Amino acid sequence: MRPGAARVKRRRGRAARRGLAQAGRRPDVARTWETDLRAARGYGGALRRRRGSGERAFMQARQEGLAALLRLQQADMDIARVRRELAGLPQRRVIVEAREKRRAIEQKREKVAALKEDAERKLAGVGEEDALLAGKQRAAQEAIDAAKGDYRSVEARTKEMNGFAKRRATLEAELDRLGAELARIGEVEAQVASALVAVQRQEDEATAAFQEQGGALKNDEARGMAERARIAETLPADLLEAYEKTAARTGGVAVALLQGNACGACRATIEGGRLIDLKASAPLGVCPACKRLLVIV
Ligand SMILES: [Zn+2]
């Protein structure tokens, strides 16, 4: 193509797009788009009168706009799919479960530590009392030795000695019991510690896998967003706005094709006057049933 011709073509394309971008003032989305088309057609007519090829430029801009609209929708669906995959990664559930398990084990560890402290405190108390009694026993024995046969004194001390011995026997049983309890607590403590290590390893492994797979998906998401922004830039502002509003409302597919006399998204059949109205708004209308944008080809 000659450089001059390319310049003219570019200018015509721009002019037609400007016509499209000058949004109608009516609030209805389809009407707005339709109004733009009419404006563009009018502009095309003026061009044709002056240059004879405006209609072609308009047709091209219109086709480009619709193609970009469908590409935008595809990009959004790709992004949504990646986000669903990201949300559905199995590691996420494993991580959440491992964290809950870890918290439960940590609570158990605290309980066991409290039990251990209690048993150790009791053990120390019993040990102190026993040491005290041992001292008293020694003193009584020394007193008996010093009494040198003083019957009353020996008898009294001997009674004392029996009392100490009896109490010490009780304390010894208590020491045994506490010793066994501490041994049991020690076993539970070891189990809790190894369970903590295992659950932590599970969480770490799932986190690493999540970061790897999730990272790749996050990259896909970023690429998708960049692609979407590139496509959105090429759309006329009002068409983009109509798309965004419809997409927000429908939460997914915003644009469908009219297939025969049915909406390609909600499958509702469109009949009579409504179909005639819809076809009159070609190439883009609104489904009377689901209010999605309908491309009429
Ligand atoms: Zn529909």
Report CA(247)–ligand 1 centroid distance (Å).
Answer: 13
Same domain, 39 and 134: no
pLDDT band per the 50, 70, 90 thresholds, residue 187: very high
Report CA(22)–ligand 1 centroid distance (Å).
Answer: 27
Report CA(261)–ligand 1 centroid distance (Å).
Answer: 11
Instruction: Give pLDDT tens digits for 202-245.
Output: 999 999 999 999 999 999 999 999 999 999 999 988 889 999 99
For helices 237-250 and 54-87, what crossing angle results, to 10°? 30
How many CB atoms neighbour CB 294 within 10 A?
A: 25
Report CA(251)–ligand 1 centroid distance (Å).
Answer: 14
Q: Is residue 108 part of a domain?
A: yes
Boundary of a domain, candidates 185, 207, 229: 229
Q: What CATH number does the domain containing 188 carry? A: 1.10.287
Report CA(230)–ligand 1 centroid distance (Å).
Answer: 28
Domain count, the chain: 2
Question: Which residue range(s) make up the domain with 270?
Answer: 27-87+232-295
Instruction: Give pLDDT tens digits for 127-184.
Output: 999 999 999 999 999 988 888 878 888 888 899 999 999 999 999 999 999 999 999 9
Same domain, 48 and 147: no
Same domain, 37 and 164: no
Boundary of a domain, candidates 229, 252, 281: 229
Ion ligand 1: residues, Cβ under 5 Å: 263, 265-266, 287, 289-290
Instruction: Give pLDDT tens digits for 81-121.
Output: 999 999 899 998 899 999 999 999 999 999 999 999 999 99
Work out the angle at residue 257's Cα, subtended by the Cα atoms of residues 13 and 272, and round it to the nearest 5 degrees.
110
Q: Is residue 13 part of a domain?
A: no
Please answer whether residues 247 and 290 qualify as being in contact, where contact means their C-beta atoms are separated by less than 8 angstroms. no
Instruction: Give pLDDT tens digits for 41-55.
Output: 333 333 334 444 556
Q: Where are the beta strands (DSSP E) in 179-296?
A: 255-259, 262-263, 284-286, 293-295
Q: Is residue 274 part of a domain?
A: yes
Same domain, 220 and 248: no
Report CA(132)–ligand 1 centroid distance (Å).
Answer: 93
Q: Is residue 176 part of a domain?
A: yes
Report CA(262)–ligand 1 centroid distance (Å).
Answer: 8
Is the per-residue pLDDT at 30 higher than 50? no
Q: Is residue 146 part of a domain?
A: yes
